[in-house]
Amino acid sequence: MLPSRQQSRSRTGVAVVAELPLRRAGTLDFVRLHAHAPARAFDGAADLLAQGPAVLSRLFCVILNVGSRSVAGAANGGPIGQLRRALPDGVAIVVLSDREEIEEIVAAFHYGARGFIPSSFEPEVASEALGIVLAGGTFFPASALLRLRRAEPRLAVDRQKPETCRKGDHWPPRQLAVLKLLVQGKVNKEIAHELGIEESTVKIHVWHLMRRLGVSNRTQAALRTRQLGILGHEPGKEPRAVEEHAAAA
């Protein structure tokens, strides 16, 4: 579960962020046992960020235990967004949560998390999930994909309710990477291959992109992206038309 050789040369630490003392201590013990890396605990995102560059530059992962708090309705991404905006590039954020609603998982990834681990997981399963993220991958519960499929009729309606989306808004790097390939006409399988992530993870990203853009299909998403100048498209240069693929929606 150690980071890559290149990461290990400069980044060797894991930070645990949890508000409540007992939750903080338990998460710290779990990380020390399963991550086999130096770990320190902090009582909030602000506490960690206050440590300054000397500490932050040594991190390769932050474990954020939010307990039963919702991340879906947090202003500006709450602690996830705060950490993602301030942490150096390449530092993975893993969310531990008592909640497993699809909206929570989608929001966590939208705000910049690379992993979402429900506290209902057995320790062995949570350890494997953490290992995937520490090795450079992405993890979210497989059961979330099933719930996403079941919720598709409702989500299709939700996509018509756009969030406030303007040119110059902050977009997490992974979201932009998915959006760029979507605009190029790539289907989910191709996007997953190019980014080295699971196809089911791409589906979650695409759902949130469409909801944020206020569109209901991939062609509309490409056109809306150009209108907002999100990817810096040149005026008058239309993005390639995106075919609709039922299996990729």
Task: Give the pLDDT score at 21.
Answer: 94
pLDDT of 151 over the 50 cut? yes
CATH classification code of 151-248: 1.10.10.10
pTM score above 0.85 = no
Task: Give the pLDDT score at 172.
Answer: 75
How big is the CA angle at 26 (ends 25 and 31), to the nearest 5 degrees? 100
Task: Give the pLDDT score at 208.
Answer: 78
Task: Give the pLDDT score at 245.
Answer: 42
pLDDT of 235 over the 50 cut? no
Same fold, 5-141 and 151-248: no
Can you tell me whether residue 89 is helix, strand or coil?
Answer: coil
> What would the mean pLDDT of 187-194 be, rounded to a whole number?
89
- pLDDT (tens digit per residue) in 154-169: 544 444 444 445 555 6
Task: Give the pLDDT score at 10.
Answer: 56
- The fraction of the chain above a pLDDT of 70, given in percent, is 78
CA pair distance 197, 181, nearest whole angstrom: 13
Task: Give the pLDDT score at 141.
Answer: 83
> What would the mean pLDDT of 65-87 be, rounded to a whole number?
89
Confidence category of residue 22, pLDDT binned at 50, 70, 90 = very high
Task: Give the pLDDT score at 243.
Answer: 40
Decide if domain 5-141 falls under CATH 3.40.50.1260.
no
Task: Please give the residue that has the higher pLDDT: either 146 or 123.
Answer: 123
Q: Of 118-122, 155-159, 194-198, which gets the smallest average pLDDT?
A: 155-159
**What phi, psi does 68 have (nearest 5°)?**
-95, 5
**What phi, psi does 135 have (nearest 5°)?**
-85, 0
Please answer whether residues 80 and 111 qualify as being in contact, where contact means their C-beta atoms are separated by less than 8 angstroms. yes
Residue 118 bridge partners (DSSP): 97
- pLDDT (tens digit per residue) in 201-233: 788 888 878 878 888 788 888 888 888 888 875
Domains of the chain by residue range: 5-141, 151-248
Computed over every residue of the chain, the mean pLDDT equals 79
